Structure 1
Amino acid sequence: MIESRPSELPHIERVWRSRSGHASQMTSVATSHWELVFWEQHGRVQAAVLGPEGTASMAPVPADAEFFGISFALGTSMPHIPLSPLVGGAAAIPDVTRRSVWLKGSAWHVPDYDNAEGFVRRMVRGGIVDLDPVVPAVLAGACPDVSDRTLQRRFVAATGLTQGAIRQIHRARQAAVLVQEGVSAQDVVHRLGYFDQPHLARSLKRYIGRTATQLSTPHASHPLSLLYKT
């Protein structure tokens, strides 16, 4: 079970926490956001930067573990850690304890579900996290006065993904939520602009890892990673 909440901070997309159950693996759905994740298992605390996921994949679930994560908003990045090499992967953060985590050569108090915003504000002030305002502006419909090539380069630098990939992932996640809410596949096609139902089916399989039927009847032994209504 995953608990999550939105954030008023423009650098954060969502904050979440969970505890591992009986499932030994889950379907990690595609996401255009990178995350900072902490987890504790058998008294040992670990942390990692998880890159964006361009496609759905199966991921192991450590037993008897508690997780906490900060999903960062599109356009937010850590300049000293390029995102492109992290797409579909992760970078472990060494020397983590219950009290401290080392980021860019400095020790920081480990955040939790309730104080994530304060932690990220300090990261921004310390120059560890930056935000390219062009990325969220374009995704919201703005037309900045830059060339397409420059825009694409800024998207890849700030997100690790192209603008087209981000939009496809976002649409597939919207479709999955609608299907889970009981909306018919035909209606989802019309609402989100898919060509037809086979196009929707391919998108769900690639980015969510499930068919519409599987999303309509979820199985507890094969959970999905964080999937929420945008």
Structure 2
Amino acid sequence: MPVESIHRGSDSRYVARVWRGRTSGAGTMTSVATSHWELVFWRDGATTHAAVRGPETVATAARIAGESDSFGITFAHGVTMPHLPVSALVDGELESPHVAGGRFVLRGEEWPIPRADDAEAFVDRLVRAGVLVRDPLVEDVVWGGVARVGTRSVQRRVAASTGLTQGTIRQIDRARTAAVLLREGAVPLDVVHALGYFDQPHLARSLRRFIGRTATQLRAPREAAPSGHGGPGGTTHEMSLLYKPVEPSAS
């Protein structure tokens, strides 16, 4: 089951990443954990779908059959839709009730389905219409900044805008960074020291929970999936979009 994906960063303070993907054939895909929510569009046969997908706190497996093209806008920490709390979307998604004629429904209004190359312009429209708002404090503290408000206020604002605690966000992002380093050939013990894991078993538990892979599998991504993960006939077990979280540039 080939999985092709490309992604890029963004200079928008509202957007963390923009990505496109394509699958073909049949197999099983692991959706790795992510601390961000996103707006996703995909075509399955002749049908186009649109959905708001929440943060994922564990790696999950899904069967894929046939061909599918997808495109997504991953939003920065601190960006929310006031009409749809992120906390209601954690480990889930909400599909648009109507998608047709190159348009979809969001907040009860019709919007044109954007393309990857005009994602930021589309997001700007959502901001001007009040569909999206941003709390800059949240992005700052998630990346280690010092807040000028009390700890409890920070915790409430982070939870309200991300659906997650600061601790969970950091655990997910650390695991994603570890996975990228291992896929690049890093030695597990070096990853332990570089990212502040207690020891290799601690790293292993984090990878199993958030990435759905062991360090050995990540260092040899072309190897077949282990028994029980690939499905009948030794079907390949691919991963969803994986990238190292990168701190946004200053405003």
CA distance in 1, matches of 2:81, 2:216: 39
Superposed counterparts of 1:210-225, under 5 Å: 210-219=213-222, 221-225=236-240
Structure 1, 146-155 or 200-209: larger mean CA deviation: 146-155
> 8 Å contact 2:24–2:65 — kept in the other structure?
no
2:17 aligned to 14, 17, 36, which one?
A: 14
1:142 aligned to 107, 122, 145, which one?
A: 145
Partner of 2:42: 39
Aligned amino acid, residue 222 of structure 1: H
1:133 aligned to 136, 150, 153, which one?
A: 136
Q: CA offsets per residue over residues 53-102 of structure 1, 9 Å max, x none? A: 01111123352111011111111111111111211111011111241111
Partner of 1:29: 32
The DSSP-based 3-state class of the residue aligned with 1:114 is helix
Structure 1, gaps ≥5 residues long: none
Aligned amino acid, residue 154 of structure 1: R
Q: CA offsets per residue over residues 146-183 of structure 1, 9 Å max, x none? A: 22211111111100000000000010000000000000
CA distance in 1, matches of 2:27, 2:135: 38
Partner of 2:113: 110
Superposed counterparts of 1:45-124, under 5 Å: 45-124=48-127
Superposed displacement of residue 142, structure 1: 2.0
CA distance in 2, matches of 1:77, 1:34: 9
> 8 Å contact 1:23–1:222 — kept in the other structure?
no
> 8 Å contact 1:98–1:110 — kept in the other structure?
no
Runs ≥4 in structure 1, deviation > 4 angstroms? none
CA distance in 2, matches of 1:152, 1:55: 21
Aligned amino acid, residue 214 of structure 2: T
Aligned amino acid, residue 96 of structure 1: V
User: How many pairs are equivalent?
Assistant: 230
Superposed displacement of residue 227, structure 1: 0.6
Q: TM-score, normalised by structure 1?
A: 0.96
Partner of 2:7: 4
> 8 Å contact 1:36–1:47 — kept in the other structure?
yes
Q: Does 1:226 align with 2:229?
A: no
Q: Does 1:184 align with 2:187?
A: yes
Partner of 1:205: 208
CA distance in 2, matches of 1:109, 1:84: 26
CA distance in 2, matches of 1:61, 1:133: 37
> 8 Å contact 1:155–1:163 — kept in the other structure?
yes
Task: Work out the percentage of aligned pairs sharing the same amino acid.
Answer: 53
Q: Does 1:174 align with 2:189?
A: no
Q: Check 1:41–1:180 CA distance in 2 against 1; reply closer, same or farther (3 A cut).
A: same
Structure 2, gaps ≥5 residues long: 225-235, 246-251
Q: CA offsets per residue over residues 28-68 of structure 1, 9 Å max, x none? A: 11100001111112211111111000111112335211101
